[in-house]
Structure 1
């Protein structure tokens, strides 16, 4: 089937849900999903004071591209702060996180699996 077709839609019209696994202050709005391939496009939202430390360092089997469009967060493993306008591409198996956001952040993220 592929991803659902959307003409221009305000991202703020999408409903935010807790992430899986749940972290206090972290939520996502799924903009599109392809259940056949596992590809997802979403907005990830950190409320002020959110930490993903309970999840520890992450790795996964998919590609991930992330663009911070609002706010900031600190990568606690790298001891580095990233701000709106920052972009990352993470291949499968790359270690990343955990993060902490003092003021909150919003990120546009695309996930997809290698062929």
Structure 2
């Protein structure tokens, strides 16, 4: 049975609470789940979250996961493809978008001034014939 997201009408989320360190990140990154849940063990579900990178935060290695991911850069700056020391990469400002299928390697990531990303993660739950 698929996991269903809750029905949420327009509201203003409390941006001062509910942030936590996301899996796969060290300090400088926090996520806030807006809706849904992702069951990675059973490869089911849908999740919408905000990901916040503090100024100067960077990851050192590319990421890969087994679910779809759509990302919108809401505010700040994001550098994609830096090295393990945080150098290099391609710089993006607000209104940048990515859509990645399961198994697509991406990153590493860096933000000079900090950023907020809106991310949607989901498994393809189309019944198999």
TM-score scaled to structure 2, two decimals?
A: 0.79
Distance 1:50 1:13 in 2: 20
Gaps of 5+ in 2: none
Root-mean-square deviation (Å):
1.9
- Cα distance change, pair 35–67 in 1 and its aligned pair in 2 (3 A): closer
Residue 42 (structure 1) aligned with residue 52 (structure 2): no
Q: Deviations over 1:7-33 (max 9, x none)?
A: 212232652111113411100000011
Alignment of 1:37-76 (within 5 A): 37-53=44-60, 56-75=61-80, 76=82
Superposition deviation, residue 4 in structure 1: 2.1
Distance 1:109 1:73 in 2: 14
Superposition deviation, residue 5 in structure 1: 2.3
2:33 is matched with which residue?
30
1:92 is matched with which residue?
102
Please list every run of at least 4 consecutive aligned residues from structure 1 whose deviation after the TM superposition is greater than 4 angstroms.
none
Flag the structure with larger Rg. Answer: 2
> Which structure is higher in strand share?
1
Aligned to 2:63, what secondary structure does the other structure show? Answer: coil
Superposition deviation, residue 38 in structure 1: 2.4
TM-score scaled to structure 1, two decimals?
A: 0.87
Distance 1:27 1:9 in 2: 21
| Matched pairs, number | 113
Distance 1:14 1:97 in 2: 27
